[in-house]
Amino acid sequence: MTILSFDFLRPLLLLCVLFAVGGITAHQIVYSRSWHQPLDVVVYPINADKSIDTHNYINTLSSDTFTEINDWFTAEARRHKAAIPQPVHVSLGKRVKSVPPPLPVDQGVLRTIMWSLQLRYWVFRNTPDDDSNLRRVRVFVAYYQGDDDKPLAHSVGLQRGLIGVVNAFGHSEQTKQNNIVITHEILHTVGASDKYNFFGGPDFPHGYANPHRQPLHPQRYAEIMVGRIPTSPYSSYMATSLKSVRMNALTASEIAWYD
């Protein structure tokens, strides 16, 4: 007779994980947003569709692939007069063999909490090095070849645990756009919020890089927490690289760049 089934144990295990990670989380949030020194970000690539093309694409990645993310943060810190000259340092980590648990389709509160604990347990099991995670952001990028007409699952960035999960196309022409998504998720981990409107476009004024521009449209830049450049109140297009993306004052204040 089995008294303790796995179904019974699973919530208990998750509860244990919850208590164990609670203390770490508080530390992580304080340190990651203090901006006394550059925030380390490690990008772990995953061959999510197990294809040879994705494998070959991952072989082309190096820490240099993400230098433009460092440069973008440095330029934005200067524009916003943040105290730290170089806010982040992104490097390429080792490959990860397993894929993270998928975000639940039904995003009820309880399901989302369970998923976030599962994800954090997965991250604990699958981080391929032993460095301290108190002050670094771990971004797991699941690369796919994908179908042209099928969008990939959403990417997420969690402030609790300083964890990002990015779903991306493993094509060289996509690398610059992937860097926008990675930057967006890094910013979620340090407290920035999404700035989409109901239709998934830029919310005015918060989702605009320059809401005071005259005339307002077309905008020259996308705000990083939307990633789309508004051309009219009802239309916008995806930015293709960080060159056409900026951070507005609201996002800068959310990540504690102002005193």
Q: Which residues bind Zn ion (CB under 5 A)?
A: 194
Least Å from the CB of residue 194 to Zn ion: 4
Least Å from the CB of residue 204 to Zn ion: 18
Least Å from the CB of residue 226 to Zn ion: 9
Least Å from the CB of residue 12 to Zn ion: 32
Q: Residue 211, preceding bond cis, omega within 30 degrees? A: no
Q: How many CA atoms lie within 13 A of 21 on its CB side?
A: 22
Least Å from the CB of residue 131 to Zn ion: 26
Residue 42 or 182: the one with the smaller Cβ distance to Zn ion is 182
Least Å from the CB of residue 68 to Zn ion: 19
Dmax over CA atoms of the chain, in Å, equals 74
- Let me know: does 246 contact 257? Beta carbons within 8 Å: no
Least Å from the CB of residue 164 to Zn ion: 10
Question: Which residues pair with residue 88 across a beta bridge?
Answer: 39
- 203-206 long-range contacts (CB < 8 A, ≥24 apart) are 204/230, 204/233, 206/248, 206/250
Cα of 41 vs its chain's centroid, Å: 10
Amino acid at 119: L
Residue 57 or 255: the one with the smaller Cβ distance to Zn ion is 255
Residue 49 or 194: the one with the smaller Cβ distance to Zn ion is 194
Closest CB to Zn ion: residue number: 194
The residue with tokens 């990002």 is 164
Residue 46 or 158: the one with the smaller Cβ distance to Zn ion is 158
Residue 53 or 194: the one with the smaller Cβ distance to Zn ion is 194
Question: Could you tell me the sign of the dihedral formed by the alpha carbons of 177, 183, 187, 190, in that order?
Answer: positive
Residue 68 or 185: the one with the smaller Cβ distance to Zn ion is 185
- Let me know: does 163 contact 120? Beta carbons within 8 Å: yes
Residue 40 or 185: the one with the smaller Cβ distance to Zn ion is 185
Encoded tokens for 156 = 């997420």
Which residue in 82, 81, 174, 93 sits closest to 136, CA to CA? 93
